[in-house]
Structure 1
């Protein structure tokens, strides 16, 4: 018997292991995190200080000049355009990455293990499908505190808030991701004509988000009939773990999308 066969099989097993997607059961964590506590997060003092090469090595050269073999030597000129706030297990990122391959998209998640899972999943997908998923990444951060530290004025074209924490108790409403103060920050980072996507299976939370978005002077609701041709909407409904769970349980999904008005408007 050829003694090289076991060695070859072992090498194949290593290759297979290298591109195996992470298993979600090893990354489970509590569904909620206190957004007001100090989570010891790393964040730049301004968008200009952010080194995106760690997230998108095929699009950004390292600021310190010390990249690996996958790093480019010159920035592509692109900027992050899509942000999924509280992205969970990254279903939307993975889905939209191939639908909008020319757009850089970022998931923002405060939970440590969930962020680690999504990061490992994206890295595995990049290895498994060379040339794909290089436009998607994730950061562990608190969007309620540090969003303007990462994005310039009018940088984003899409913001996603999919099945956010309802925070049912009235004293917890200040922790909801849609509030008048936060909407002004979203209007700052979202370019005129950009879109906010919200969806929830909790009607009370949906009405809360609609109420505050309707009241904000820089946002106008997009009629449902105008969303028919939007390639992101179907994935907003069904790509996330939470959306799929609601579908299995035959629950309701309440969608509302808003456009950031232009200066002329």
Structure 2
């Protein structure tokens, strides 16, 4: 995935671009096929980012990491993209918000198309659709097959952050991550020391709505384990 258009200030300079030979018979293939080189790769993904509250809150807290929101709704994606442009323009002198962006994507179908193996250090699943009806449970963002995809794109030691106000969905996510051999649940003591947990609770649009309604917030975080050695 070429992220250069989403994080333009992190594109390598033209010094790395091949110079085509001159003349009518010059071979210009290398010049035509040259792609901009990113000096960094995306490390943090907010799946189902909504209107970007978590993205913009994490941006100054993780200044050295590229953060990406993935959202399936076209109009919402466009809103976040325009807000990114506006914030970058407003903070041009300081260079803030250059590390955050958003794309339209159905991550349940195409997650491995966007990230390579062991690329991500953090994945956020914040207030996902609970899909209450039993026949719709297969559409939940956490499942046996999807957890394997999360494991593929996550580096060992990386974390999947989950939060919901639906107790049944919380237990569902815990059950499926606990059953997956690539993850272990993070302890409560570690959660208290993790700044990202507090941001996740307070900065998402859904989190703020739950706070106004004095509803519960169920949090669980899971660490990506090292793969076992080959026999």
Smaller-chain TM-score bracket:
0.7 to 0.9
5+ unaligned residues in a row in structure 1: which ranges? 1-49, 66-72
The answer to whether 1:214 aligns with 2:178 is yes
8 Å CA contact retained: 1:105, 1:135 = yes
2:182–2:227 contact (8 Å) kept in structure 1: no
Distance of 2:128 and 2:36 partners within structure 1: 37
Matches of 2:13 and 2:49 in 1, distance apart?
25
Query: Which residue of structure 1 aligns with residue 48 of structure 2?
Result: 86
Q: RMSD value over aligned CA atoms?
A: 1.8
Alpha-carbon separation, structure 1, partners of 2:7 and 2:180: 34
Structure 1 equivalent of residue 5 of structure 2: 54
Correspondence for 1:142 among 106, 125, 145: 106
**Correspondence list, 1:3-42, <5 A:** none
For 2:91, which of 120, 129, 136 is the aligned residue?
129
User: Shift in Å at residue 75 of structure 1?
Assistant: 3.5
Q: Aligned partners of 1:216 and 1:133: how far apart in 2? A: 35
TM-score, with structure 1 as normaliser? 0.76
Cα contact 1:156–1:190 (8 A) shared by 2: yes
Equivalent positions of 1:190-205 (< 5 A) are: 190-205=154-169
Aligned residues: 208
Alpha-carbon distance between aligned partners in 2 of 1:60 and 1:52, rounded to the nearest angstrom: 9
Task: State whether structure 2 residue 224 is matched by structure 1 residue 260.
Answer: yes
Asked if 2 retains the 8 angstrom alpha-carbon contact of 1:53 and 1:62, the reply is no
* Cα distance per residue 1:217-236 (max 9 Å; x no partner): 11000011111221211111
Q: 2:39 aligns with which of 77, 80, 83?
A: 77
Q: Please, which runs of 5 or more residues in structure 2 have no aligned partner?
A: 18-34
Match of 1:165 among 122, 125, 129: 129
**Structure 2 Cα separation of the partners of residues 126 and 189 of structure 1:** 28
